[in-house]
Amino acid sequence: MADLLVFGSIAYDCIETPTASEDYILGGSASYAALAASYFAPVKISGIVGADFKPSDLERFRARQINISGLEYSGKPTFFWRGRYHDNFNSRDTLELRLNAFEGYVPQLPPSCADAEYVLLGNISPDHQKKVLESVKNPKFVVLDTMNFWIETALDSLVEMVGRADLFIVNDSEAKMLSQERNIILAGRKLRKMCPGAVIVKTGEYGAMLFHKDGFFVVPAYPVSDLHDPTGAGDSFAGALAGYLAGIEKTDFASIKKAMVYGAATASITVESFSCYKLEMTGRQEIERRAKYIKEISQF
Amino acid sequence: MADLLVFGSIAYDCIETPTASEDYILGGSASYAALAASYFAPVKISGIVGADFKPSDLERFRARQINISGLEYSGKPTFFWRGRYHDNFNSRDTLELRLNAFEGYVPQLPPSCADAEYVLLGNISPDHQKKVLESVKNPKFVVLDTMNFWIETALDSLVEMVGRADLFIVNDSEAKMLSQERNIILAGRKLRKMCPGAVIVKTGEYGAMLFHKDGFFVVPAYPVSDLHDPTGAGDSFAGALAGYLAGIEKTDFASIKKAMVYGAATASITVESFSCYKLEMTGRQEIERRAKYIKEISQF
C-alpha cells in the first residue's frame, strides 16, 4: 500500500435541502475525500483550518487513522459555505461563501507529506493545487478534481493543472463548459487531449464515464433512494477512487475501472446523511457490499 | 419467433436541431418502433396515415418486411409535428401539432393483426392504445410507451393502461412526473407498483434502468458522438426491445436485460440521422457490434 496525500478545502457548511437543514457541519473537499480514501490506503490530509475548528472534528480524522500532520492552522475562521439545494437535489445555490482561512493562504507542505506517491488534489483553487503539487517530491499518480467556479474564474491555471494530472475528474456540466462541447462523449474526448492521462466525467445519479487511452467505460451509480444531502458526493468518489489505486499500487485501465466502482459505492453512502456522518461510520464491509451490487446491476 | 404488433403514430415531422433542419420527413412512434423491431422479429404495423402519405414511405416499411395490412387510410392529411431542439439537444419545443388523420380516429384492428402475441403500444393517446389492446385476442406480452403530454392530459386512461402492461417504458422526467417523486429510484419503484410487470426508466444519453421483481438493472447508452436528431430514440429503443423479446419468445428478467442492450444499440443508430434513414439502412450486424460494445464498456 502506498500513502495517499489528499489536499483540498476543509470547511464548515450550512446546508438546506428540500427536506431538512443543518448548520456548521464539517465539510470541504479534503474532509470528504480523506475520509472516503481512509477505507483503502493510509491517508495524509493537507489544507488549512481556522481558529474555530473544533478539536472534535480533528478527532474525526484521527479516528479514521488519517495523518493530520499536513494540516495548517490559521487565526482566521475556517472556510465557510452556505448552500441551498433546489427541489430536485440536482442543482444548488451558493447563498454565502467566506474564504476566511483560505484568504491569502499559501500552502506549505510539511516534509511528512512531501514524499507521497499518490496525490489527490481535491476541489480548490488550481493555484493552491499547483503550489502543493510542486512541493511533492516524486508524485507517481496525480488525481485532479475541480468545479465550475474555477473554470469560470481561473481557467488558465486550471488548464495548466489538467495538463499535469494523470487522472482528471469533472462532472458532466463542467466537462461541457470546459470543452465547449454540447455532447458529453465529445466533451470527454476533448478533455482527454488536454490531460496526458485519463478523464472521468461524473454523471451524478447516473454514474460516471471513463475516457482512457485503452478504452471507454461506464459505471452506474449505486441506486440511492434515501438521499439526504448530495454535498461531498464527488469528493467521496474521488477520495475512494484515489485511495483504492494507492491501496493496490496499480493505475492501469482495469484498476481505474474497479476504483470507479469503489468511488460510486462510497459516494452513495456519503449522500445518505448530512456532512460525513454516515461516511465515517460505515465500514469497508458496506462499501464492498455496494460495489458488489453495482457489478450485479450492470451485468447481463 | 413470434409476431410483434406495433401500434402508434405515423407522422410527417419538420425538425430543427441546433445544427440542421429537415421538413416533412417520415416520423411517428410506430414508424421508428416498427423499423427498429424489424431486425429481430416479424413485425405488423398498425396506425393511420393520411391522403398525403407517400407510396415511397409505405415502401420503406415493406422493404424491411414489415406487414402493413394493419394500416388504415384517412382522407385527411397525415399526423404532423413541427419541433425544435434546444441547444443541448436534450429538450425541445413543439412548434406546431396537427392531429389530422388521428382526429376522431377509432382504431379498427384487422383480423390479420388481432392474433399477435407480442404487442408494442407505442407513444400515442392511451385511449387509442386501449382500443387496440382490446382488439388483440390473446396478448402474451404487452409493452407500453408514453410521453409527458398524456400524463398531463389523459392521466386516468394512462394509469389504467399501465395497470394492463407487462412492461412500461418512460423517460426519467416522465417517471418523476407520473410518480410525483423527486428521486429516480423512488420513482421507478413507485411505478412498479402501478404496473403488474416491469418498468424501464430511460435516462437519455446515460442509458436506461429496469425495475423488475427479480432485480434492478442499468444499461449504459451507446456513446454517440455524431448526434443528428434525437427524435425517435425512445421509439427505436422500445421497438428493438419488444422485437428482441418477440424474436426469442422469452420475457424473463435476463431476457429483458438483453433486450434493453439491443434497444440501446438500435436507438444509438437512429439518432445519427434525421428520420429513419440510418435506422432502416443499417443492418443487424452493426446493431450486434454496438450491443457487444455496450457489454464491453460496462464490464470490469
Q: Residue B85: enclosing H or E segment and its boundaries?
A: strand B79-85
Which B residues in the span 62-101 are in contact with A, Cβ-Cβ below 8 Å?
A: 87-89
Distance (Å, whole) CA B187 – CA B211: 10
> At B76, is the pLDDT very low, low, confident or very high (cuts 50, 70, 90)?
very high
Backbone angles phi, psi at B263, to 5 degrees: -60, -45
B contacts of A205 (beta carbons < 8 Å): 183-184
HSE value, Cβ hemisphere, 13 Å, CA-based, for A160: 13
| pLDDT tens digit sequence for B244-278 | 999 999 999 999 999 999 999 999 999 999 999 99
> At B90, is the pLDDT very low, low, confident or very high (cuts 50, 70, 90)?
confident
Q: Give A14's strand partners.
A: A82
Q: Do B182 and A295 touch (CB under 8 A)?
A: no
Q: Give the residue carrying C-alpha cell 444548488.
A: A92
Q: Is B220 on the interface with A (CB under 8 A)?
A: yes
Average pLDDT estimate for B38-55: 98
ipTM, interface predicted TM-score of the complex:
0.91
Distance (Å, whole) CA A228 – CA A89: 9
> At B91, is the pLDDT very low, low, confident or very high (cuts 50, 70, 90)?
confident
Question: For residue A100, which amino acid is it?
Answer: N
Q: Do B297 and A216 touch (CB under 8 A)?
A: yes
Q: Which of A176, A218, A227 lies nearest to residue B220, judging by beta carbons? A: A218
Single out the residue of A230, A298, A287, A296 nearest to residue A264, CA to CA: A287
| pLDDT tens digit sequence for A38-62 | 999 999 999 999 999 999 999 999 9
| Residue B196: CATH number of its domain | 3.40.1190.20
A contacts of B225 (beta carbons < 8 Å): 183, 185-186, 189
Distance (Å, whole) CA A62 – CA B102: 69
CB atoms under 10 Å from CB of A214, counted, come to 12
Q: Do B88 and A205 touch (CB under 8 A)?
A: no
| Sheet with A67-73: strands ordered across | A67-73, A43-49, A4-7, A118-121, A141-145, A167-171, A198-202, A207-212, A215-220
Distance (Å, whole) CA B65 – CA B39: 9
CB atoms under 10 Å from CB of B114, counted, come to 16
Single out the residue of B157, B159, B148, B163 nearest to residue B202, CA to CA: B148
**Predicted TM-score (pTM) of this structure:** 0.94
3-class SS of residue A97? strand
Distance (Å, whole) CA B180 – CA B175: 8
Residue B87, pLDDT score: 83
Distance (Å, whole) CA B270 – CA B228: 9
> At B88, is the pLDDT very low, low, confident or very high (cuts 50, 70, 90)?
confident
| pLDDT tens digit sequence for A95-142 | 999 999 999 999 999 999 999 999 999 999 999 999 999 999 999 999
DSSP A67: E
Closest chain A residue to B86, measured at CA: A182
Interface test with A, best of B222, B298, B299 (most A CBs within 10 A): B298
Q: Residue A207: enclosing H or E segment and its boundaries?
A: strand A207-212
A contacts of B219 (beta carbons < 8 Å): 300
Interface test with A, best of B206, B211, B229, B272 (most A CBs within 10 A): B206
Q: Which of A182, A257, A297 lies nearest to residue B217, judging by beta carbons? A: A297
Q: Read out DSSP for B24-80?
A: EEEE-HHHHHHHHHTTTS-EEEEEEE-TT--HHHHHHHHHTT-EEEEEEE-SSPPEE
* pLDDT surpassing 90 at residue B151: yes
What are the CA-CA distances from residue A11 to residues A34, A75, A78 (Å)? Answer: 13, 15, 6
Q: How many domains does chain B divide into?
A: 1
Q: Give A201's strand partners.
A: A170, A209
> At A90, is the pLDDT very low, low, confident or very high (cuts 50, 70, 90)?
confident
Distance (Å, whole) CA B103 – CA A271: 49
Helix axes B29-37, B55-63, angle to 10 degrees: 30
Which structural domain range is residue B71 located in?
4-297
